[in-house]
Structure 1
Amino acid sequence: MDDGPRDMRGREFELLVETALFSILDIESVEREPRLRADVRPDLVAHLRNGRTAIIEVKLVTPATSVRLDQAADTLRHYREAYVGVFGMSDPAPQLVLVVSGVLAPERISDLLELGVDIVIDGPALRQAAPELPWPDPVAGKRRGTTDAVVFRNAQLIEKLRQVAPGRADWPAHQRTVQDILAAVLSPPLALPLSEHPNRSRVNRRDIIFPNYADHGVWKFLRDHYQAHYVVVDTKNYVGSIKKNDILQTANYLNAHGAGLFGIITCRNSGDRSADVTRREQWIVHRKLIIVLNDDDLKQMVSFASDGSDPAIVVRQKVEDFRLGF
């Protein structure tokens, strides 16, 4: 289950990036994987014509979650610390540059800049700077039917999400908007969603359910390994973070004889510590896997869809982040 572009290997992509960066960053010379310490070797260190130095991290698989953005920024800061330890502090300090193969939503780029990354270069910027190079999936969007009309529709959906105010008053509008966004980016391969669907006793009424009949890719994997037969989505339009009780409510909707054991909570921000602990408990004790998608996650999924990439990359990385966090 590969979420990287076509079959390109990281080294091949890195060489393409190196070629494109000569024009993007106005590079004079570049070092590949210089050894700064025994265990510290950045992908590239570039010496620019303006006299500055750039430390460059190249990622074939685009980091799509906040956890992975934090990790990428932390890695670059670690490289700069090691570089300064070898060559001393320059004025100005070496620039930190992250290069990824896919598209990053503007909010993700802003997050990286706030985390101390100086320059972010994603797939569209690479293709624009060096269109003659054999970039991974340069026409992926056309093959997936990503027309200008679809891109415009996706932009409208994100604008609609921005206009929904957090809080109880706009709760119905938030649920409709989230359903429209997820339907636009996930159906197909998921079937069109069922809204406000009750169970037989009518005790539980699930906000959104996506039947999962996918025969390949992320969703088939989630059905086969996490019983995601029906993807239950619970929407929360809170001003603040979701909490323990919200996780328990979603967990109550999940069972092996019904919808399955995989659920998604969408919220405006994130979960607090009690929510994180409860998600872990639900997985350990009941094998119920619940991931949380906030506004920025939804925007990244839309960005992927508009560029022709698979929006389920965000879901896959959320699951990976959760499992590897144990």
Structure 2
Amino acid sequence: MNMRPTEIEFTALLVYLMGKTPGYTDIVQESIFGQEERYIADIVATRVRNLQRTRLLIECKSSRFVSFDRINDVVSQLKKYKEAYGECQPVFAIPATLSESEAQALKVEGVELWDLDFLAKTFAKQLEDAPIGYFKNILLMRARRGSATTRASELSASLKACQPGKQDWSIYQSLVGNILEYLFCPTLTKPLSEHADGTKTNRRDFIIPNYAESGFWSFLRNRYMADYLVVDAKNYSRKIRKTEILQVANYLKPQGAGLVGLIFSRNGGDAAGCAHTLREQWLIHEKMILVFNDMEVESMLSAKEDGRVPEEMVEKKIEQFRLSI
């Protein structure tokens, strides 16, 4: 698997950009503070604006999260930092686009968000002379894109317009196919729609051939027997349950499509039957079935639009699932 850029690299770039920007002084990377409990902040700096000096305490993350709970972890951490540090403005810096709910959660708690848009706009001039690297490219891409409409934003708008329930089920199914093709092709082969097995008893919405020769998808094929990805789109207004998991599991066979299934459900899966069945299918049959809700789909679309790899969400889903067992 390819090595991904680290948070240390992003933090170092942000320190460089702030150092070249008027209005930021006393910039310290990896600042240790606290009396009874000791903490280390990614960046501590002073912002001078209209003769007012504000001490900034900045927490950096290099990528998005797999669940909304992680934003609450960031808020909790910054609260502890502020209590130990004293008067300061907590800042969360991330070279990505957060969802509206994530941004609102930070705002409510008084945390200033430096997301992809903010970073690209605020440090546009300084980026031109910054050291060459992954995060510089991400920020420059966003700065140069401006307000142009992207394929990701079009798909995101269509997803929001599609109503959960029977009436729009065919629209949602088609939309999921378009989203998958946009996110993962041509690394993966174009999805094959409404594919049934030989007995015609098990029909799935999409089958995605996985012929990747390197990277994450190659790893997934070799480790989890993902020769093909079996995909089901559930436009339910409710969370999916045990029954929907078993429908996909019945299609997964070692000598057939393989053992990896993806279910796209508007509201994800329930915490009882769905979660238990996912664990059971993995522990007993080694079938890896992942469920993605609308927020996670939006995250992948944002990642693609931002110039990052959307399959990072799939990686994190597997990581979270495996470590929960």
Equivalent position of 2:57 in the other structure: 55
1:108-135 CA distance string (max 9 Å, x none): 6436526847222234543431322236
Q: After alignment, is 244-253 or 175-184 more displaced? A: 244-253
Q: After alignment, is 292-301 or 150-159 more displaced? A: 150-159
> SS state of the match for residue 194, structure 2?
strand
Offset, 1:171: 0.8
1:106-162 CA distance string (max 9 Å, x none): 44643652684722223454343132223633446999xx999x9633322221111
Distance in 1 separating the partners of 2:38 and 2:150: 46
Does 1:218 pair with 2:221?
no
Distance in 1 separating the partners of 2:54 and 2:64: 27
Query: 1:245-264 residue pairs with structure 2 within 5 A?
Result: 245-264=243-262
1:152-199 CA distance string (max 9 Å, x none): 333222211111100111111100001111111111111011111000
1:86/1:126 CA distance change after superposition, 3 Å: closer
Distance in 2 separating the partners of 1:74 and 1:277: 25
Residue 120 (structure 1) aligned to one of 96, 113, 116? 113
1:251-308 CA distance string (max 9 Å, x none): 1221211111111111112211121222112111111111111112222222222232
Equivalent position of 2:4 in the other structure: 4
Q: Contact between 1:73 and 1:117, CA under 8 Å: does it hold in 2?
A: no
Equivalent position of 1:160 in the other structure: 158
Identity over aligned residues, as a percent? 33
Distance in 2 separating the partners of 1:23 and 1:297: 36
1:136/1:322 CA distance change after superposition, 3 Å: farther
Equivalent position of 1:203 in the other structure: 201
Q: Contact between 2:75 and 2:106, CA under 8 Å: does it hold in 1?
A: no
1:81/1:196 CA distance change after superposition, 3 Å: same
Q: Which amino acid aligns with 1:288?
A: K
Q: Contact between 1:58 and 1:100, CA under 8 Å: does it hold in 2?
A: yes
Does 1:281 pair with 2:280?
yes
What is the aligned-residue RMSD (CA, Å)? 3.0
Structure 1 runs not aligned, ≥5 long: none
Distance in 2 separating the partners of 1:112 and 1:136: 31
1:240/1:78 CA distance change after superposition, 3 Å: same
Equivalent position of 2:127 in the other structure: 131
Distance in 1 separating the partners of 2:322 and 2:108: 24
Q: Contact between 1:265 and 1:291, CA under 8 Å: does it hold in 2?
A: yes
Structure 2 runs not aligned, ≥5 long: none
> SS state of the match for residue 233, structure 1?
strand
Q: Which amino acid aligns with 1:176?
A: S
Distance in 2 separating the partners of 1:314 and 1:24: 33
1:206/1:98 CA distance change after superposition, 3 Å: same
> SS state of the match for residue 150, structure 2?
helix
Distance in 1 separating the partners of 2:108 and 2:226: 34
Equivalent position of 1:316 in the other structure: 315
> SS state of the match for residue 32, structure 2?
coil
In the superposition, the TM-score normalised over structure 2's length comes to: 0.84
Distance in 1 separating the partners of 2:308 and 2:239: 29
Equivalent position of 2:293 in the other structure: 294
Does 1:14 pair with 2:7?
no
> SS state of the match for residue 34, structure 1?
strand
Does 1:104 pair with 2:104?
no
1:195/1:291 CA distance change after superposition, 3 Å: same
Distance in 2 separating the partners of 1:11 and 1:156: 33
Distance in 1 separating the partners of 2:245 and 2:231: 12
1:95/1:276 CA distance change after superposition, 3 Å: farther
Offset, 1:203: 0.1
1:53/1:270 CA distance change after superposition, 3 Å: farther
**Higher strand fraction: Structure 1 or Structure 2?**
2
Q: Say how many residue pairs are matched.
A: 311
In the superposition, the TM-score normalised over structure 1's length comes to: 0.84
